[in-house]
Amino acid sequence: MASTDINNLFSVKGRVALITGGTSGIGVMIAKGLVTNGAKVYVCGLPSDPIEEAVNELSQLGASSGGTVIGFACNLTSKEGILQVSNKIREQEKHLDILISNAGIRRDPPQPCDVLTAPLPELQASLWSSEYDDWKRSFQVNTIAHYYLSVALLDLLAKAGDLEMPDGSKGRDHGRGVVVITSSIASLHNATNVDMMSYATTKAATDHLVSLLAAKFSRWYVRVCGINPGFVPSKMNPMGTGSGADIFGDLVQKVPAKRAGGLDDLAGVVLFLVSKAGAYVHGRSIAIDGGRTLFANGQV
């Protein structure tokens, strides 16, 4: 098979992956992309997440390709909880080809306002209403967890990169031993029409973390990459309602692509990053936003 054959270039068959927040939203989209192409995927989420339902759906999707799924509950808000995730993988695997550090949360001010039109006292009151603990928890999940999880699994990722391949090359030459961290385009703009201060701040920190970890892991060529999704429907981001938790209203229609992102958009980019096709990409993040950041800064 030629090296540029699509079945070789983008293959993840038989690779071992862990996806945090892998039972809903962007995480389950990525899991679908991997399992339908023959990967062995571990997905973890909160005990309250639909873990069993996700595993059943993913297992059916992977049946024809040999993809398999194992689901378990996890808590990423402490070193102890992250170590338990690491130990869970170590109990079953000698190496880890792919870490998708995806779990994230968003905490909006409990006292919302129209940030474009609110008088100063109203805007100030809204910003002040943000709970201090919400900021702390957002950093715990959206930034700190990516750091500790990547470090905890570094040796297993390096072992994947050291695997001897049939052609005499190393696993790293085929894209094995890679971390993909989910950020957001909220880190790339300062749009004033929505208020996601704590969320956007944690995601900006996450973008820099991608580069920092990539530099630290470079001696073993354990790659660290990021993705910055735009509008993608999820429990966190219900799209198109224009009310309640959907703070985006009709903004999706203003995206140049004229739609929200979906399964193929997310899975396609991740398959590129974690396969031989992306084996030369390291320390960089890719925006998957349909052109949203072309107009978001200074948006009115």
pLDDT digits (tens, 9 = 90+) for 79-117: 999 999 999 999 999 999 999 999 999 998 999 888 888
Identify the pLDDT of residue 174. Answer: 97
Give Cβ neighbours of residue 253 (< 8 Å, ≥ 6 apart).
none
Identify the pLDDT of residue 253. Answer: 77
Identify the pLDDT of residue 296. Answer: 76
Distance CA 117, CA 140 (A): 32
In the block, tokens 């948006």 appear at 299
Fold entry, domain 6-107+138-236+262-294: Rossmann fold (3.40.50)
Percentage of the chain surpassing pLDDT 90? 80
Banded pLDDT at 300 (limits 50, 70, 90): very low
Identify the pLDDT of residue 115. Answer: 83
DSSP string, 17-63: EEEETTTSHHHHHHHHHHHTTT-EEEEEE-TTS-HHHHHHHHHHHHT
Which of 103, 102, 105, 108 lies closest to 248 in space, CA to CA? 108
Query: What does the angle CA 8 – CA 12 – CA 13 come to, to the nearest 5 degrees?
Result: 90
- Strand locations in the chain, DSSP E? 16-20, 40-45, 68-73, 98-101, 178-182, 223-229, 285-288
The answer to whether 259 touches 291, Cβ cutoff 8 Å, is no
pTM: 0.94
Give the residue extent of every domain in the chain. 6-107+138-236+262-294
